[in-house]
């Protein structure tokens, strides 16, 4: 590979990183501007870390769970209950645990 090809590949890598919306930093640059890069990650950006212009790592934001924003009582009057919620759905005669010695039969 000639020096021109290496330079072209490097420019192509930066171009592709730019298109993908990812910031690119070499190790020294990342180390010197660590706070600035972390602020960018906190805003949702991804950063590709390179060693001698070869990608070695990616810093990506952690997806945080959003707080529950449900308002108490927001579902009021949205459900209609028919029947008795305390009554069993199947007849007691079909309950295996009530038959015999109280243990479910094993097959």
pLDDT in tens, 1-39: 444 444 455 566 666 655 566 789 999 999 999 999 999
Residue 42 lies in a domain: yes
pLDDT in tens, 82-104: 888 888 778 878 887 777 665 55
Residue 64 lies in a domain: no
**pTM for this prediction:** 0.44
Order the strands of the 23-26 sheet from edge to edge: 23-26, 47-51, 54-59
Residue 19 lies in a domain: yes
Question: Quick one: which of 10, 21, 104, 85 has its CA closest to 55?
Answer: 10
Q: Residue 18 belongs to what domain range?
A: 3-59
| Tally of domains within the chain | 1
Residue 20 lies in a domain: yes
Give the domain CATH number at 7. Answer: 3.40.1620
Residue 76 lies in a domain: no
């Amino acid at each position: 590979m000639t020096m021109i090809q290496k330079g072209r590949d490097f420019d192509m890598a930066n171009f592709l990183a730019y298109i993908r919306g990812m910031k690119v930093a070499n190790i020294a640059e990342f180390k010197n501007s660590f706070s600035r890069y972390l602020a960018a990650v906190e805003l949702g950006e991804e950063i590709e870390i390179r060693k001698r212009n070869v990608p070695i790592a990616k810093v990506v934001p952690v997806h945080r769970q959003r707080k529950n924003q449900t308002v108490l009582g927001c579902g009021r009057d949205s459900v209609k209950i028919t029947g008795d919620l305390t009554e069993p759905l199947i007849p007691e005669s079909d309950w295996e645990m009530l038959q015999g010695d109280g243990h479910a039969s094993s097959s």
